[in-house]
Structure 1
């Protein structure tokens, strides 16, 4: 697409209108930054909670914690909220904080390039070009579904879809269905579809550790209490946070502690699955936490149904009428559903963001994501990543991490305001190579010895180089401490060849 004319300019441009993008726009407005635009390719806000509509879709972080601290919801219906309720919460946040005028929905960002001449980001979208002083990438790690490149997949004569793009027009009643993958999505939709399909073949590469899901309905009395006494809900939220931080966080950092959790999970398995052969298939041989720990009360009972087969032989090819496994068996199916996760360590957004030297993030990272504080990247001025490298979690709420990163972003913006042209002339910043390299080295050092590196499994936490570039190797309070104040000494000013007059309108 070609563009003509002067692009519409904004102080801050945000890519993505999920949790991260919505929270960014709210916090910017609260701090007086009103010249904000939020791009999203969808026709509504919500991000992953808009896109993932598969049966049983829900959050595995408690509701009171999986929400913005400054926008509590006293009306959560259950301890663990379902997708429709979380999506509606985000839509209410948009209405409550007046974000609609800032949204550019159905605007897919196809490219973003730093223009050294103007000191701005040039952002190409499906509806034209924009420019911005600051670019915030808030697409998140669960934006692009990952489908394995199986031999012969294109020859399959039936229906194929990924759980994140569920085909609700395809009736599964009586169908012979293959489910590939046993992760966080499959563990939710398999129990929902198992009773209605004719036959379900679950292709499992590695069994997950599964703990009981302590879910319950939140009573009307509790909701009324939270409405009239907000500190009560904050206390519940804090209690959940501290429990997950103390118990689960400690286990991830000290794998020996996970033995207690493993015993709980094994009892859960023994209680739900009577067949010893099936139980053996579902028993993990790696340390709990090496892969994402899953929560479910109905997954194991679903796999015990007479119409469900758990297939542990690897897939060798797909044919027109089914899937062939390593033992030579053809599993005849008419529907294939992939529950195979997302492009987490190779996010597509990295392929279209170009920095000062014209290289993309993808080219700079070379298969292993790196960023100072997981937020900023050397060579990419005024770019801020939300839930960037090594800021994901395996034990707590990523919404907490997003809010930490927004505090840092706001500190960076205030620093840019203080050094506008007319004072020091610095109005673009990037982390110094030393600061970024030191941070990455510290992350790698702290990662050694955690369950993610010593647990004996291969997981989506690891990138193409074998490095864990996904998770934060510590307690979340330590990340909060790192990001509660912006550190100018870790950044350097980027000269602008043709200084632009920056207005006072924020």
Structure 2
């Protein structure tokens, strides 16, 4: 692929990119290309292969509504099964021939004269009528800024880039971070390490993981009676949705979840001093709620230490904390999350006015219209864009809602011969003003914590502050009245290209 022209270019082959490719194909949009920097579909679930990796949303809900899987082994899917599911869906959907792997997007610029996106990749240049980003909010690992970390002589890697060549048996291991990945990693590492230090900045609320294997009978029933599986999925959805009022209206409504987390802590840790250090001082839901049955008991084991003193530096063979203690380490695992409010992909997308998305968002934080389109960036669609994240339910529900909106936008462009669609600035501003007005009363703003949901301005540009069914309703159709709609310009000669033409 030296130079190619297509109608629709999709970036990323995780849940978002795969869903977009399938639904565009179903809508009759055949000229679609998906570029993926990795070697396969899967995105997050291809890359995160650390020990114990699993989803914290039930399997029946964390899957496409149009591609149910009756063969989940557990109620909460382990990573290999989710990856295998995505591979199967891609294969059976018939769209894999539109995917190009091991191809990174290096630069994407809007060409106002040709009304096309000009996208430079590691394999060549692509001109596309629309640019659909499915790059994901949890795709770029965030490394900690710790003095001396570059001098560490042992093995060091991020949880999302697990080095399986490193044998942890009998080693002194340190895990920095106590978030969603860490609570899965720590119990697994503790089984083989000679000593494990877990470095905690702030504790999290951890509720039980009500996981169980599906029986053979259940799998057969799901396979033979699809309606039964849909009803099961629906019940899980509404159970998850019951968290929303406690997050967005009145934190006291989340008291049952808090009591559940406190009981989980009492059951897992008998030492009062350790229990105190593991008890958050903020409202439940302010940070991401974690789920685990084994994390607390692991921290109570003799060869595992919870370290709450701040890290001051890393030496060649130790982590040093503010109390002057040196913690000897052979392997250092950093489970310090991802770039969510400063997405790296935004630095590579340049809009109509010659500014990148990152520059556009620098002053006030990430902002989009309906989390999907951005003023100044014609024909650009972002799946899992600003303020579309969830703290309680399945992102696949959001992805399907956004993809339906994008497909309707493309259908509208075809029907009315619009060359460009770009949200009006006033419509985008009104959407975000309302969103952040609602955000002020949520637990993420009033719960007394600082989290990765917040950007450098203290604004929550990550989460959706309402019910997910409301999000789906608001994106149920493409609202052309909120957009500046451009007519085609007279065609001008341009160099011939290989592949399809837009």
TM-score > 0.5, shorter chain as reference? yes
Shift of 1:499: 3.8
Superposition pairs of residues 310-325 of structure 1, within 5 angstroms: 310-325=306-321
Deviations 1:144-202 (A, max 9, x none): 00011111111111111000000000001111111100000000011001021011111
Shift of 1:496: 6.0
Superposition pairs of residues 399-478 of structure 1, within 5 angstroms: 399-420=396-417, 426-478=418-470
Aligned to 1:120: 116
| Unmatched tracts of structure 1, length 5 or more | 421-425
| Equivalent residue in structure 2 for 1:479, among 462, 466, 471 | 471
| SS, match of residue 446 in structure 1 | helix
Deviations 1:246-278 (A, max 9, x none): 2x1121112111222111111111111011111
Shift of 1:460: 0.3
Shift of 1:505: 8.7
Aligned to 1:209: 205
Shift of 1:481: 0.9
Cα distance in 1 between the residues matched to 2:410 and 2:272: 59
If the length of structure 2 is used for normalisation, what is the TM-score? Answer: 0.96
Aligned to 1:370: 367
| Equivalent residue in structure 1 for 2:293, among 282, 292, 297 | 297
Superposition pairs of residues 50-89 of structure 1, within 5 angstroms: 50-89=46-85
Moved over 6 A (4+): none
Aligned to 1:423: none
Deviations 1:212-247 (A, max 9, x none): 00000011111111111101000000000011102x
| Equivalent residue in structure 2 for 1:25, among 4, 21, 30 | 21
Cα distance in 2 between the residues matched to 1:12 and 1:105: 16
Shift of 1:495: 6.0
Shift of 1:498: 5.0
Q: Is the 8 A contact 1:116 1:497 kept in 2?
A: no
Superposition pairs of residues 345-384 of structure 1, within 5 angstroms: 345-366=341-362, 368-384=365-381
Cα distance in 2 between the residues matched to 1:257 and 1:110: 46
Deviations 1:410-461 (A, max 9, x none): 11101111232xxxxx311100000000001011001011100000000000
Cα distance in 1 between the residues matched to 2:490 and 2:308: 61
**Are positions 1:47 and 2:43 aligned together?**
yes
Q: Is the 8 A contact 2:142 2:337 kept in 1?
A: yes
Cα distance in 1 between the residues matched to 2:17 and 2:338: 19
Cα distance in 1 between the residues matched to 2:252 and 2:155: 44
Q: Is the 8 A contact 1:211 1:296 kept in 2?
A: yes
Cα distance in 1 between the residues matched to 2:354 and 2:33: 24
Cα distance in 2 between the residues matched to 1:250 and 1:78: 28
Please provide the CA RMSD for this pair: 1.5
Deviations 1:91-111 (A, max 9, x none): 001111112210000011111
Shift of 1:320: 1.2
Shift of 1:494: 3.8
Aligned to 1:392: 389
| Equivalent residue in structure 1 for 2:127, among 131, 141, 146 | 131
Deviations 1:26-80 (A, max 9, x none): 1011111111000001111100000000000000000000000111111111100
| Equivalent residue in structure 1 for 2:7, among 3, 6, 11 | 11
Q: Is the 8 A contact 1:118 1:498 kept in 2?
A: no
If the length of structure 1 is used for normalisation, what is the TM-score? Answer: 0.96
Q: Is the 8 A contact 1:116 1:496 kept in 2?
A: no
Q: Is the 8 A contact 2:132 2:380 kept in 1?
A: yes
Q: Is the 8 A contact 1:117 1:498 kept in 2?
A: no
Figure out how many residues of one structure are paired with residues of the other and give that number.
494
Cα distance in 1 between the residues matched to 2:31 and 2:477: 23
| SS, match of residue 458 in structure 2 | coil
Aligned to 2:245: 250
